[in-house]
């Protein structure tokens, strides 16, 4: 079936809202997407009918147990985990990363080295910086080019030494939108015996994750960025996870993923994450190229359909921004290179601050973010941190060309005035 934007939008109650008669435009998606009815229904069902602790012989407990097992299985398929037990969930990507950074760095010795990047969200920077402080590790920084907004993996190769233990690397930037070469970084990590920890939070709403093909060691993402509830998900290579010391209560077995699942997990969130994954697969079944019946094939088809649609919005948006006086897009702009970026587009404009632009548009129901978006290193490097950062427009598969045009039109008026 052809991509049916009206039908897709009809599944999201939030997208029906208006402000003073004008439809609200949701371009704040990189900070959190809206949620389809199907996801909320499954969360409701979990709370109404599957609300018991695990391990009982009675019906509600059995149903809850099944819900949890199925959500883990969906999470494993979502990232293409080679083994079961490799995925577990937690409050957020940030919380999971703080926890895992403690565990992963526990046996690093003073003088060991870690590599962080200047393009990552602080959630994949600060936990490692603090671990480095605790353990006396040396921190090295991978920089990106201000012209191409990409890394040169030759630089990464030059940074590694025989003391490198870990590289923390972002899959897609929440500011520039650049999709980074995770497989290339994984290859370098493997060659020097380091571990690669990947933040896929901004990639997950736009592209199919395949940890088996990437060759990384850990990968984290967050379901509220891909149309689900606020819950984080971590995949780790089985041998890596098994070798780590898990901080857990004594009665919990050493099996995966239980050894990393502290306390009672949030069942309704698990139901919601599973439903969000099903939603993406449903897009594939409805609008993608003919795919096999299995979840992974439908997911692949869904992401392909979304990317083709989103690229149209991205190109229109970037072309419009580039015609405006004094506007500088902070990311890849060449239409021939859309495969190297997601649809998140940030920019600054001469003579008007990012907060002024965002608040002018928000008064008309056009929701977008200004500021540093927690990508402190990007804005510091570009010399824009003190000035209030940039403006970020983040279309996803449910946004429309009309929304892009309305936003551009209003932006032009604000910038010219
Ligand atoms: C790239 C990136 N990483 C990490 C995070 C943090 O995710 P969470 O809110 O799940 O901790 C965000 C949130 O915006 C993000 O954009």
The preferred substitution site among 100, 124, 201 for testing ligand 1, maximizing ligand atoms within 8 Å of CB, is 201
Model confidence pLDDT, tens digit, residues 205-222: 999 999 999 999 999 999
Residue 417 has pLDDT above 90, yes or no: no
Average pLDDT of every residue of the chain: 97
State residue 158's pLDDT score.
98
State residue 214's pLDDT score.
98
The answer to whether the pTM exceeds 0.85 is: yes
SS3 string, 286-347, reads HHCCCCCCCHHHHHHHHHHHHHHHHHHHHHHHHHHHHCCCCEEECCCCCHHHHHHECCCEEE
* Bridging pattern class, strands 25-26 and 164-170: unpaired
Burial of 110 (0-12, 13-18, 19+ CB in 10 A): exposed
3-state secondary structure of 117: strand
Upper half-sphere CA count for residue 13 (Cβ side, 13 Å) = 6
Model confidence pLDDT, tens digit, residues 282-306: 999 999 998 889 999 999 999 999 9
The preferred substitution site among 176, 202, 206 for testing ligand 1, maximizing ligand atoms within 8 Å of CB, is 202
CB within 8 Å of 256: residues ≥ 6 apart = 85, 86, 88, 238, 241, 242
Shortest-distance atom of ligand 1 to CA 95: 11
Model confidence pLDDT, tens digit, residues 314-337: 999 999 999 999 999 999 999 999
Burial of 191 (0-12, 13-18, 19+ CB in 10 A): exposed
Residue nearest to atom 4 of ligand 1 (CA): 123
Residue nearest to atom 14 of ligand 1 (CA): 31
Measured distance CA(43)–CA(134) in Å, rounded: 39
The preferred substitution site among 31, 99, 225 for testing ligand 1, maximizing ligand atoms within 8 Å of CB, is 225
Residue nearest to atom 7 of ligand 1 (CA): 93
Average pLDDT value for residue range 368-387: 96
Residue 29 has pLDDT above 90, yes or no: yes
3-state secondary structure of 14: helix
Residue nearest to atom 16 of ligand 1 (CA): 174
**What structural domains does the chain harbor?**
5-35+311-416 (3.90.1150.10), 41-276 (3.40.640.10)
55, 64 contact by CB (below 8 A)? no
Around ligand 1, the residues with Cβ closer than 6 Å are 31, 92-94, 121, 123, 170, 174, 199, 201-202, 222, 232
């Amino acid at each position: 079936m052809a991509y049916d934007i009206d039908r897709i939008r009809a599944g999201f109650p939030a997208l029906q809202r208006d402000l003073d008669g004008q439809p609200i435009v949701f371009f704040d998606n990189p900070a959190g997407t809206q949620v389809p009815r199907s996801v909320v229904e499954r969360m409701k069902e979990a709370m109404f009918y599957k609300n018991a602790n695990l391990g009982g012989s009675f019906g509600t407990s059995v149903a809850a147990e099944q819900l949890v097992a199925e959500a883990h299985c969906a999470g494993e398929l979502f990232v293409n985990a080679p083994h079961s037990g490799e995925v577990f969930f937690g409050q957020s990507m940030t919380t999971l990363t703080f926890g895992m950074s403690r565990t992963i760095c526990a046996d690093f010795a003073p003088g060991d080295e870690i590599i962080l990047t200047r393009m990552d969200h602080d959630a994949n920077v600060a936990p490692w910086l603090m671990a480095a402080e605790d353990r006396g590790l040396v921190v090295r920084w991978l920089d990106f080019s201000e012209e191409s907004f990409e890394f040169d993996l030759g630089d990464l190769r030059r940074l590694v030494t025989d003391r490198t233990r870990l590289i923390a690397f972002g899959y897609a930037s929440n500011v520039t939108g650049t999709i980074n070469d995770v497989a290339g970084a994984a290859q370098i990590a493997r060659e020097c015996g380091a571990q690669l920890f990947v933040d896929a939070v901004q990639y997950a709403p736009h592209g199919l994750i395949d940890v088996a093909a990437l060759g990384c060691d850990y990968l984290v993402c967050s379901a509220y960025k891909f149309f689900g509830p606020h819950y984080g998900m971590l995949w780790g290579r089985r041998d890596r996870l098994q070798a780590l010391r898990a901080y857990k209560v004594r009665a919990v077995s050493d099996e995966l993923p239980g050894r990393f699942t502290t306390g009672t997990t949030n069942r309704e969130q698990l139901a919601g994450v599973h439903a969000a994954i099903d939603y993406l697969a449903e897009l594939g079944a409805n609008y993608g190229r003919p795919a096999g019946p299995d979840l992974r094939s439908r997911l692949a088809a869904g992401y392909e359909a979304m990317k083709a649609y989103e690229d149209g919005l991205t190109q229109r948006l970037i072309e419009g921004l580039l015609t405006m006086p004094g506007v500088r897009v902070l990311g890849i702009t060449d239409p021939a290179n859309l495969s190297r970026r997601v649809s998140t587009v940030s920019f600054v404009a001469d003579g008007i601050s990012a907060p002024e632009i965002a608040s002018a548009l928000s008064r008309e129901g056009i929701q977008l973010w200004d500021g540093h978006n927690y990508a402190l290193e990007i804005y510091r490097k570009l010399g824009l941190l003190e000035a209030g950062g940039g403006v970020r427009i983040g279309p996803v598969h449910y946004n429309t060309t009309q929304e892009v045009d309305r936003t551009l039109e209003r932006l032009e008026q604000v910038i010219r005035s």
